[in-house]
Each structure stands twice: as C-alpha cells, then as structure tokens.
Amino acid sequence: MAIQDVRAQLFDAAERVLLRDGAEALTSRAVTTEAGCAKGVLHRHFADFDTFLAELVLDRVGRIADRSAALGAAAGSGSVIEHLTEALTDFFGPVALSMVGLITFRDGLRARLRAAGQPGIPVLTQASATVTAYLGRERELGRIAPTADVDTLALTLIGTGHLLFAGRDEGRPAAEDVRKVVTSVLTGVLTGA
C-alpha cells in the first residue's frame, strides 16, 4: 500500500472515530483499530499522534479552501444571501464541527498547528478568509456597499454560524434559520445591484 493510501486510510478512520465517539475517544489505538492496521503503522508515517492530528486537520481544512474557489466564482451572480447560506451550511458540516472540538480539546494539537503557521482554529480561520474574499469580490462588483467592513462581516457570519450549528442534539438547523442569520448580518450592506 502506498504511503498516500495509508495516510488517507488513517485520516478517514480518525474522522469516523471522531464523528462516532468524540474527541476524547480519538487515540492512536482507536484510529489504527478503526483503520484495520497495526498501531506501528501510524507511528511509521507520523512523528507522534499530535503530528498526525495536525496533518488530519490541515487536510480537512483544505476542503474549505476548495470551497473558496467555488464561492469566489459565484460572485456577481445569483443571490449573495443564498451563496452565503450554502457556504455556511457547507462549512459547518459534522466533520468541521468535530475538528473544532478536537482542536479545542487537545493542547498538543493546538501547539502543532501554531508551529505550522495556523493560528487560532484553522477550520474557522479558513472559513472566515473564504467569506472575507467572497464579500470583498461582491463589494468590488457593487453588490455590497463600498463602505462595508467585509472582515467584520465575515467574522460575524462565521461566529454566528458556528454557534448556530454547534452542539445541537436535534440535528442541523434548517436552511431558513441559516438564511435568517445571513440576512440579519448583511442588512444595510447589500446594494441590490
């Protein structure tokens, strides 16, 4: 099995354990058991478990970066509210929410991420950067007021979005609830162009 296949297998196994059992259950033994391989396999490919977790987080954050291109391409077309409603719903899927919990739970992981140049909580930081870039593009196109502070709007959307999606026992919020948040945050800055 090629190293990339092993990495993907271990990352997918860690994601399953995290989603099913939570951050406190995510151990190297749980990951290798879930992946169906010997514990030594993980340590052959990663210096230690926190290094493995940091690479897992960065791999999954890359998925948000992929969403950035799609959101940027949507600028100038359709509805700003709908684009952001869809983006927030994508950003705060079960894996991303679990990653936020994992980063918060593990001091060693946060240290590794900072050492890798990832301040804060990379899942939220990348989502915020994506929304900031999108809003900036919409401002350039005249669909957002020229005086709008897109950095603050993005932080508000991501923070509020995280609160809306996190810790829900009753399932994910309805699209209408997400749309209501986006509409509230953007009230007064949409130009109608």
Q: What is the pLDDT along the chain (193 residues), one digit of tens a residue?
A: 444 588 899 999 999 999 999 888 999 999 999 999 888 899 899 999 999 999 999 988 887 777 788 899 999 999 999 999 999 999 998 888 888 988 988 888 888 899 888 878 888 999 999 999 999 999 999 999 999 999 999 999 999 999 999 977 788 999 999 999 999 999 999 997 5
User: Based on the number of CB atoms within 10 Å of its own CB, is 64 exposed (0-12), middle (13-18) or buried (19 or more)?
Assistant: buried
CATH topology for the 62-186 domain = Tetracycline Repressor; domain 2 (1.10.357)
Predicted pLDDT at 54? 93
Domain segments of the chain as ranges: 1-45, 62-186
Whole-model pTM: value is 0.87
Give every CB contact of residue 109 below 8 A, 6+ residues apart in sequence.
Answer: 50, 53, 54, 57, 102, 103
- Asked if 162 contacts 173 with a C-beta cutoff of 8 angstroms, the reply is no
Pick the CATH number of 1-45 from 3.40.50.970, 3.40.50.300, 1.10.10.60, 3.10.20.30: 1.10.10.60
What is the per-residue burial (b if ≥16 Cβ within 10 Å, else e) of 97-120?
bbbbbbbeebeebbebbeeeebee
